[in-house]
Structure 1
Amino acid sequence: MTLWLTRIVPSPSSREAHRDLGGNDQGIRLHQRMLQMFPDGIEGPARAAFGVLFRAEETPRGLQILLQSHEAPDPSRLPDAYGNVETRSLDGMLSNLHKGAIINYRCVASPVRKPGAAAREAYKLPPVVALSGNAAIEWWERQSTAAGLEPLHINAHPLATVRGSRGHKDPAAKQRVQHSRTQFDGTARVLDADLLREKLAAGIGRGKAYGCGLLTLAPMQQRS
């Protein structure tokens, strides 16, 4: 299965891009915008059908959107002058993964734990508890290992929580969306390349429809 990575650099003059990227409901708006680039009429959830994972991030050159998918998106379905769009296959990177390789990684994820019924009752906890600080780092260590990686260095940076609503036109029937987010950056050693390829395609953790779970890799720069 081929994976495609699309980089979108939004145009500062695009009202649609500005609206999509503004506010705490950014992830909800971008979810709708990213799916717009794929065919209609799919049975079941379109995000899963096309393997869509995405995130918006700040770079030294400004804001960008990264989109990963099983099928190359069609940028002509975006609003006119939305931004600059470049798509490339990840086949080369995936085929070069091997046990022992040292890579750089980045993932914006939603670290949580789900306490049992007894703990929820005793401590009046919600069904899902957002994690931060050392608890979030420990969560990422477990997720990394489950993805075939040995984390060597972890930098965890909390991001704004995604909040908003989705679903029906009737406001009373809308579902509330809330996902805490942490950006994890660092270096890792590949322990299981096949498992890592699977996790790259599937994404990490919850909130995948709203800008969480996309794991991106880059080779370590070789010193001359």
Structure 2
Amino acid sequence: MTILWLTRLVLDPRNREVARDLASAVSLHRRIMSLFPDNVGSQARHDLGVLFRVEDGPAGSHLLIQSGHEPDIKRLPDGYGQAWTKPLTPMLDFLSPGLPLRYRIAANPIRKPGKTTRELYGLKPIVPLSGDAARQWWLRQAQQSGLHIHAAHASPLSPVGGQRARGQRIHHARCLFEGTATVADPDLLRRRVAEGIGRGKSYGCGLLSLAPAATLS
């Protein structure tokens, strides 16, 4: 398995560039990708395995970045924040069937109704899910990711978005799923952690965090 890196970046809320990036998922995506080699290609995020999630706490916001290439923190602007990077691979190598875990993921739960259903009910091609429908989406995704869920708590999050080049608007509804599980298929789980889950991976969705049952915080 490719070595994965996990970077925790504690952001300085007084920094103007931090404020700008937090206001736009597109801007934040560009900032994160600037930490990696240039000229990777048109699928740089995918090829470098970059996923991220913003988390808010009593001390302010921090950013989690997972990647298949160690980021160059020196590329951050002065005063942007403090960062620590460690290899994630030892944790993933530790996974085994039946291992109890805590998990957390901010995801974009959706469904794609068929053409007949869309025409009948006037639905869009992609319908964001909420409430129990979102929770059921996560339970299906978890099963398909090698996890056996014991507890699943779902909390709505504010959507992420921004404007890309040529005026294209980005908008992804989000929900935070967290709880407890046991490992059902370690190899499948490792692959899904590396790939990310669901849509919106370029804009802060899909990063699945795992930790031994009492240590995820």
TM-score where L is the length of structure 1? 0.93
Q: Deviations over 1:68-104 (max 9, x none)?
A: 0000000111111110010000111011000001100
Aligned residue among 33, 36, 50 for 2:34: 36
Q: Which amino acid aligns with 2:177?
A: F
Q: Does 1:45 align with 2:46?
A: no
Q: Whole-Å Cα distance in 2 between the matches of residues 29 and 164 of structure 1?
A: 8
Stretches of 4+ moved more than 2 A in 1? Answer: 59-62
Q: Which residue of 1 aligns with 2:108?
A: 110
Q: CA deviation at 1:107?
A: 0.2
Aligned residue among 94, 97, 104 for 2:95: 97
Q: Which moved more, 1:157-166 or 1:49-58?
A: 157-166
Q: Deviations over 1:45-68 (max 9, x none)?
A: 211121110010113432110000
Find the residue that maps to 1:40 and give its secondary structure. Answer: coil
Structure 2: segments with no counterpart, 5+ residues: none
- Aligned identity (percent) is 50
Q: Whole-Å Cα distance in 2 between the matches of residues 143 and 114 of structure 1?
A: 15
Q: CA deviation at 1:106?
A: 0.3
Q: CA deviation at 1:186?
A: 0.4
Q: Does 1:213 align with 2:211?
A: no
Structural mapping, 1:131-170, within 5 Å: 131-168=129-166
Q: Which amino acid aligns with 1:196?
A: L
Find the residue that maps to 1:177 and give its secondary structure. Answer: strand
Q: Which amino acid aligns with 2:16?
A: R
Q: Which amino acid aligns with 1:191?
A: A
Q: Which amino acid aligns with 1:162?
A: V
Q: CA deviation at 1:41?
A: 1.1
TM-score where L is the length of structure 2? 0.96
Q: Which residue of 2 aligns with 1:204?
A: 197
Q: Deviations over 1:165-212 (max 9, x none)?
A: 2123xxxxx212111000001001110000000000000000000000
Q: Whole-Å Cα distance in 1 between the matches of residues 199 and 214 of structure 2?
A: 31
Q: Whole-Å Cα distance in 1 between the matches of residues 6 and 187 of structure 2?
A: 19
Task: Calculate the aligned-residue CA RMSD, in Å.
Answer: 1.1
Q: Whole-Å Cα distance in 2 between the matches of residues 204 and 39 of structure 1?
A: 24
Find the residue that maps to 2:63 and give its secondary structure. Answer: strand
Q: Which moved more, 1:185-194 or 1:41-50?
A: 41-50
Q: Which amino acid aligns with 2:32?
A: M
Q: CA deviation at 1:29?
A: 1.6
Q: Which residue of 2 aligns with 1:123?
A: 121
Query: Is the Cα–Cα contact under 8 Å of residues 164 and 170 in structure 2 kept in the other structure?
Result: yes
Q: Whole-Å Cα distance in 1 between the matches of residues 42 and 71 of structure 2?
A: 18
Q: Whole-Å Cα distance in 2 between the matches of residues 28 and 99 of structure 1?
A: 38
Q: CA deviation at 1:163?
A: 2.7
